[in-house]
Amino acid sequence: MNARCPAVLIAAPASGQGKTTVTAALARLHARAGLRVRAFKCGPDFLDPMWLELATGQPVHNMDLWMTGEADVRARLHAAAQDADLIIVEGVMGLFDGEPSAADLARRFGLPVLAVIDASAMAGTFGALAFGLQHYRTGLPWAGVLANRVASERHAQMLQAALPASDADAPSAWLGAVMRDPAFTLPERHLGLTMASELPDALARLDAAADALLGTPLGQMDRAALARWAVEFEPPPEGSPVAPLLAGKTVAVARDAAFCFIYAANLDTLRALGAQVVFFSPLANEPVPMCDAVWLPGGYPELHAETLAVAHTSRDSLVAHVGAGRPVWAECGGMMVLFDAIVDQQGQSHAVWGLLPGVVRTQPRLAALGPQKLCLASGELRGHTFHYSRCETALEPALHAASARGGAVGLGEALYQRGALRASYFHAWMASSPAAAAALFLPEALS
């Protein structure tokens, strides 16, 4: 049976326009008013969902027509629509960037698009940009446009006047202007936004942004007004049950500020495979719990290298785990800490855990970005890569991931293997192939 719920996809002409702030502010505004709000993030992002989860108080999942797949997106939207009063999806990069893009997602599921435009350095061009976003692709559902980082009321009037008139001779879907205000700026660093959990005033920032929306037509929309964004969500097709390939197994997951890039869907997949999931903190120098396999997810080991260098209890228990032939899956930041040393951007070397030979060097420039897939005998794992470091090692890769786009674009990320320890910069979306995900946590050969 179809499920009906107001929904909106918040996008922008480019990154850095303030769409995460607006998305979180809109979610916070309605959540604190008592509405049940479910938020999602378009694309393979770990940081924005943390802010959206703080705003809504609900788990936030990712959506991507390639990485997570259309059936997964359909299932999550349909499930959310049965319980929520409002669904908000935050776009990725610019509205039409990427293959598939946020616009493709909006068209596929009928999600009205709200465009957030940083208008701080424009006036009349605002109208042309809004018009282009709305009409560049036919069949794009449209909610309206919000001007962000506006200098004054007069500036806001100029922006509104720049919009083309609709058939009703009213400004076309003007949803208001948000003034510049450092009180709700969300700070950034090399991988994106600073984590919400690191800022003691994170919720206050979201409340300030929500308060700023109150003075706009967008912020003044009540339940009746939101109903004009109602979307019918079809149920997903019947899926195959997940085989309990990890039944009776315990998987220990590192989870703290250094190892925090964890898709909630990955934990769900491990549990669906039959695994018991337990957690430990290397930053707190906790030992690896009694377990059958370990997952070291990505995060910020380079920001905590001094602490990790002396986390001898965590290191020694992991060495014993590997020595006993038990599996480890380490991805991106989780892999970095396994090498002999991490060299930070200031050139300082930190001796880390030494389970893999070599050095990881961080750098100010992006080293790799994009969707990739890891093809194993048990299935194709989809995911992505995004990192600012490079590893220098004599190890020969056991496997390579491949670009999502295929063709002659070079090899994807290397996967290194020592016994049952597997490590790569590749971030896996485990739900894309539960059988292949299970293989990462079993001692048998991957290929």
The residues that are catalytic are: 332
**Alpha-carbon gap, residue 166 to 151, rounded angstroms:** 26
* DSSP collapsed to 3 states, 239-270: CCCCCCCCCCCEEEEECCCCCCECCHHHHHHH
**Alpha-carbon gap, residue 349 to 369, rounded angstroms:** 25
* Three-state DSSP state, 436: helix
Token pair 């030979």: residue: 357
Extract the tokens encoding 139. Answer: 């069949």
* Three-state DSSP state, 37: strand
Residues 6+ apart with CB under 8 A from 61: 40, 41, 49, 76, 263, 264, 265
Cα separations in angstroms, 219 against 89, 159, 178, 210, 439? 17, 18, 10, 8, 47
CA dihedral 330, 389, 195, 58 (to 10 degrees): -40
Over its C-alpha atoms, the chain yields an Rg (Å, rounded) of: 23
Cα separations in angstroms, 163 against 9, 118, 158, 219, 242? 20, 15, 9, 20, 51
**Alpha-carbon gap, residue 403 to 72, rounded angstroms:** 21
Extract the tokens encoding 345. Answer: 């951007």
Extract the tokens encoding 178. Answer: 């948000």
Cα separations in angstroms, 250 against 32, 134, 275, 293, 327? 38, 49, 5, 7, 11
